[in-house]
Structure formats: C-alpha cells, structure tokens
Structure 1
C-alpha cells in the first residue's frame, strides 16, 4: 500500500504510526516544510514543500488566518503534482493533519485516494467554548460568532474531501458539527508507557546549579507557551501564596514566551513577563530564587522533570488537551488540574487527580498544600493515573492497534467515482 503523510510540523501526530506502517512493508512518503531536501526517516521518504507567496498586508483580519492556510494548501498541491507526475507516486491512503490547510487540494491531485484527516478542533462561540475567560472578552462580542465562523473556513473546505477522520479525545471530536462527527473516530496518538515510567532515581539540574530529585518538593507547570489559554495567569497569581505556604518547594516552569493559542499580548510584551510583573512585588527575593523558568527543554530533560515532580499542575481552557497531561499521568504523577471539559476526560476528581476551578488561585494553593502534605494520597492518585493511561492510552497495546485498524478500514473504503485528473505541467 502507498501511504502519503502530510503534516506541517512532521512527524507530529504521526510520530509512531508512520514508522510502524513503513516497518509493515508499506511505502510511506511524507510532504512537509520541515525538511529542505529529500531525506529518509524511520523508513519514510520525506519530501519538502515550501510556500513561495507571502500573506497580504491589508487583508481583512478575519481572512488572514485562512489565507495562510490557503498558501500552504497551494504549495502542498504543487508538490503533490510533482510527486504524481515526476515521481510516479499514487497514494492509496492519504493521512493528513488539515489544521494548517495543506491537504485542501489533494483530492484534485488524486481523486480516488482515501483521505483520513486528523481533526484537532472546531471553533465554537457557544459555552463553554466561547467567552470562557471573562478577563479576555472579545473585542466585538456581537461579531465574535461571525469571526469564529470565518476561522472555521479551513475546516469547512476540508469537510468534503475527508473519507474518515480522527480526533485524540472525545471532547475535541464533539466540537465538530454532525456532518464531521459521523466520520470521526476517537483514537489518541498514544503514550509510550514503557518509556514514560516512574523513576525513583530521577534527577534534574536546574539553571541556578541546583539538582533536584524525588527527595525534593518539586512543583511543576508545563506548557508549550506560557499563556492564558493554559492557565498561566491563574498559576502565577497563586504563586506568591504557594511559595509562602510551601517554603521548601522548588517551582519549575516549562514553556516559551510565544503564543500557541488565543490573543497575542500587547505589542512588545509577553504573557510570561506580564504576569511575572503582576506578582513579583508580592514575592521575596529568597522565595523568587525557588522559581525556575526553563523555557523549552529537550525531551529527556522533560521526562526527568516529570519523574522528579512531587506535584504537577495542569490548567487549560476548554480546548485541545496537552500531551504533557497524559505523560505526567504515565510517570505516576500526582496532579491538580482545572475542572474543564477536556481535563475531565482524563482526570476523575480524587481518583486520578484532583480538580479545581480554573479561575481560583486560592483553591489552587489550598489543593496543592493539602496534597503535598498527604504522601499516601499522592501515591494513590499517581498509581491510579498511570493505570488509567496504561489501560486506555498505551501506545503499543491500545492506540497503535486501533490506529492501524482505522487505516486498514480507510484503505478498504471504495474509491470515489473517477474524476478528471488535473492537467500535467
């Protein structure tokens, strides 16, 4: 079987599935802007595509997001045409994350290919999705549903080309309308629970020269970027009292200064610094020395961080769930998390973790203090969390078999009616 993978940040969600398909003897090719020249990775042929046009300066802001996706879709189409006409490649199956627009024209290149799309999120204005955080109201509340409708243009363009679809969580799948939802299978990418394991001997070197281990009281907070969508503002507002309440704690924060989701900060500033500035005067220099911002760290250090963590805090809007939550559960971490929709799919209160109100820093401090004083509860919650991940999200025994079945079922779907091929160049 010929398989084509499409991902703007390859391998992304195909990190495990792609190599397994290659090892099974399938010919697997990937189109991605992450490489500049043809190369091989884990049995997969990686081919580059690149956008040559730039976004318009004066386009309506509601269309700016879609235009960037259109540019990627056009560039990917041109690379696909070359792969078809010069490379002689015809995929039986195309697996693509359509969030960046790349596969929007691939049905025009290969009309009979079976296309499976990775569905991460469908933007909605109704509660609890829209207007979740009153601190950041939309600039034009009456127009917000209209803006979000336009933000879904990319989803709408792709709805007709998908033969089947995937979402990693039920929460994310349920954001999509019925015509999408009927095609979506809920299968997570999977957690390698053989690698993400508890390690009583784990250690981590911090930037100030401190080395922490399981003997230390380490509190962790992890996100790709430090921003309100992931509760960074709530966490920072809890920090002054948390440091006073836990005088031995080392607080380790992972995340970059950018924006993954939501609104950008005021020009010239970062959300990270905005909330440092808000709380810094409430924290003594001695306590501030126990706060460690690591930025982005290599995966082996990230694993060690989760393994030394005595308490992990995870907060999120009702949005895409972070891999880090599942990985923390896999290493048997004790977790306090926000009582929001995507989290409740993984965390049952006082069973696999503890849930708090997303907006309540005082509740966060109280829950953290209680759990840090209760080793037996941390042990119970951590073991239950790991067992939950092993039972429902284990990469090799659960998710990969489900994903392979999904791909097989997709490949066995009857091809669409023959359509006119686009002209060769």
Structure 2
C-alpha cells in the first residue's frame, strides 16, 4: 500500500499507524509534516513550511483562516511535487486541525481521503462560556462558527472521517456524522501500567514512592481549560487537612487552549500570587520526559483530572491504565470514560470544596483507592488498548476506505443508546467506541 500521512507535528495521532505500515517493506509510507528533526524507520519524511507569516490585521473572525489557508497551500506545493515525481497514494490520512486537509483532493481527486476530525467548535454548549454564568457574547459565538471554516471544508472533501470519542463525534456537524467513525487513538497499556516499586526523584532531591501521600495533576500546559485554576485554589485547604501530602503538578507555562492571563506572564504565576502554598510540598516539574511522567502517575495516591467540555486528554486514559485513583470533573467527555463510584470519583467542576473532600476521603481509604484503580485499568484495557482494540480498528478502517468499501453507519441507536451504529465489519471494542 502507498499511504500518505499528513500532520504538522509528526507523528501525533499517526505514530502507531505509520510504524505499522512502515514495518512491511512492500508498503510505501510518506509523512508530510512541518516538524523538523524527527525521522521514523521506513518512513519517508516530506517537510514543508508556510509561504509567509499569517496576517494579523485581518478581520478577527478570519485571522485563523489566513493561517490555515497557508498550511493548505504549503501542503499543495509538496503534494504536487510528489505527484510529478510519480507518487500517487492509495489513501491519504490527514488531520484537519490546521488546514492541511483543505486541498489534497484537488491534487489527488481520485485518492480516498480519511480525515482525522479532532474537534468542531461550538459557540454554545461546549467550551465557550463554560466557566462563566453569563451567556457568551454574540461576537464570540459568531467567531466560533467562522473558526470552523477549514474544518467544514475538510469534512466536505473527505471520503470518510474518524474522531476519538463519542462526545467529539456529537460535536461534529450532523450532516457529516454518518460519514465518521469513532475510534480512539489507543493506550499502550503494557507501558502505562502499575509499578508498585516506582520511585520518583523531584527537582529538589525529594524521593517519592507508593509509601508517600502523593496527589498529582497533569496537563500539557497549566491553564483554566484543564482546571488548573480550580485545582490551585483547592490546595491551601488540602494542604492544611493533609500535613503529609506532597503535590506534584506536570505542565508547561504556555497555553494550548484559551489565552494567557492579562495580569501575569502565565497562569502558574497568576495563581501563585493568589493562593498561599508550601513550596516544599507543592512541586511544579514543568514538562517532563515520558518515563518520568509515568513514574509520577505510578507513585500517585490520588490523581486529579479537571477539564472544560473539550478534547479528552490522553493523560486521562493513561492514568486509568496505570491504575490511578482518579478524582475528575463531571464534564464531557470525562463522563464517557469514568463512572462515579466504580472507576473513579466525579465532582462538579466548579465545586472546589467537593474536590478537596473527595481527595481527602480517598487518601484515608486505601481499599476504595485500590478498587477504583483496578476497575479503571480493566476498563481501559478492555476498551482502549492500542494493540488489541484501537489499532486493529484503525487499520481496518484505513484499508476499507483505501479500497472504496466505505463503512456504513445506520440511523438506529446501538444498545447503549449512542446514536449511530459502529461501521459494519470493523472490530468493535466492548464499549462500542469504534
């Protein structure tokens, strides 16, 4: 098979698929990306860059679109070169988030295009306006609709699409839901696994293990979208009630979603100026290597995951696979993967007192912690394991789309009430997430 993967930050969601197809020398695998300095065995990398810097003086509804069009044009230039050199893929797998999928069908009109549809913006009922009692300003709602321009055009061009969770599927335009599979990226549950002997050395030299009372928080960046402000405001009371607790926070000082605070360089500095904590017991470790991150979760007694209604973090499912005892916000898509009292504890996102109470109660209850952790790991292994569940479903989908045998979504609900049956003949996890 000749397969073209497209993602500006290679390999991202295509990491395991690229490895799978590159392992067979009969396949020809090309990865088109903006990222530099990364090579994958058996994969030919084609790098691109934007023709110019995005404009900043455009109408604020379309400032994003200007950049996305530049991404689309850059991809076209490289795709034309590939075609001229004699390469025509059997299938193209492209993430739609940055505009890279916009014009690929115009270069390869007869090649099936499988789009990864990660998120579709909504002016109401999702992340916008979630953390406020006020109705979102109409200007913001309209801008959110305009921000979907490149996503909608990519969906229209695609032969088929895939998204990782049911809630993200529900966010997509209804007209395209019947041409979209729900298959998660997959969790490496053999790597993300409990380790009772794990030891973690903090930057100050403190060594933590499973014998210590460790509370953890993880996010790519420390920001409100992932509940960092809520967690920080709960810490003074938590530290007062748990004098032996050590708190470890993972995350950078940039923003992945939303913006920076107006009155500080980043959200960490803003919250540290607002709340009083003991720096000897609260450890900001920044962004860390993956093995260090795993050890943080492996020594955790209670792990917290807070989020707006937005894309589900990989760390949520990875922490469950490790057997962490979770206290998480009762927000979609968390509700899709964690059941209160069975695989973890849920709290209202806005209820800081409830967050502190649940953490403290679980720190005092080793039997419940063990039960939650074991059930959480079992759930992820059965429903989200990369090797046995998600990767086979991804491969089956790619090969069906490549050969023109598009899956068929029915309009009837499945047994668990999810509107839209899984594609016929594809491997279906126990939870029906494929």
Q: Structure 1 pair 137/303, CA: closer, same or farther in 2 (3 Å)?
A: farther
**How far has the Cα of 1:126 moved from its partner?**
2.5
**How far has the Cα of 1:88 moved from its partner?**
1.6
User: CA–CA distance in 2 between the matches of 1:368 and 1:250?
Assistant: 13
Which of 128, 153, 158 is the matching residue for 2:149? Answer: 153
User: CA–CA distance in 2 between the matches of 1:41 and 1:408?
Assistant: 22
Give the aligned partner of residue 415 of structure 2.
Answer: none
User: CA–CA distance in 2 between the matches of 1:396 and 1:221?
Assistant: 27
SS in 2 for 1:20: helix
Unpaired runs of 5+ in structure 2?
407-434
Give the aligned partner of residue 50 of structure 1.
Answer: 49
SS in 2 for 1:288: coil
Cα-to-partner distance string for 1:306-355 (whole Å, 9 max, x where unaligned) = 11111100000000000001000011110000000100111000111100
Give the aligned partner of residue 321 of structure 1.
Answer: 312
Give the aligned partner of residue 31 of structure 1.
Answer: 32
CA RMSD of aligned residues (A): 1.5
Give the aligned partner of residue 227 of structure 1.
Answer: 223
User: CA–CA distance in 1 between the matches of 2:371 and 2:10?
Assistant: 37
Give the aligned partner of residue 272 of structure 1.
Answer: 268
**After the TM superposition, which residues 162-201 of structure 1 pair with which residues of structure 2 at under 5 Å, given as runs?**
162-201=158-197
User: CA–CA distance in 1 between the matches of 2:56 and 2:147?
Assistant: 18
Unpaired runs of 5+ in structure 1?
416-425
User: CA–CA distance in 1 between the matches of 2:333 and 2:101?
Assistant: 27
Normalising by structure 2, report the TM-score.
0.91
User: CA–CA distance in 2 between the matches of 1:195 and 1:128?
Assistant: 33
**How far has the Cα of 1:161 moved from its partner?**
1.0
Give the aligned partner of residue 423 of structure 2.
Answer: none
Give the aligned partner of residue 423 of structure 1.
Answer: none
Say if 1:77 and 1:103, in contact at 8 Å, map to a contact too: no
User: CA–CA distance in 2 between the matches of 1:168 and 1:144?
Assistant: 26
Give the aligned partner of residue 357 of structure 1.
Answer: 348
**How far has the Cα of 1:52 moved from its partner?**
2.5
How many corresponding residue pairs? 405
Q: Does 1:121 align with 2:108?
A: no
User: CA–CA distance in 2 between the matches of 1:102 and 1:4?
Assistant: 12
Cα-to-partner distance string for 1:344-368 (whole Å, 9 max, x where unaligned) = 1110001111000101111110000
Give the aligned partner of residue 303 of structure 1.
Answer: 294
User: CA–CA distance in 2 between the matches of 1:40 and 1:270?
Assistant: 33
Give the aligned partner of residue 362 of structure 2.
Answer: 371
Moved over 3 A (4+): 135-138
Q: Does 1:208 align with 2:204?
A: yes
SS in 1 for 2:157: coil
User: CA–CA distance in 1 between the matches of 2:142 and 2:218?
Assistant: 33
Say if 1:310 and 1:333, in contact at 8 Å, map to a contact too: yes
Q: Does 1:293 align with 2:284?
A: yes
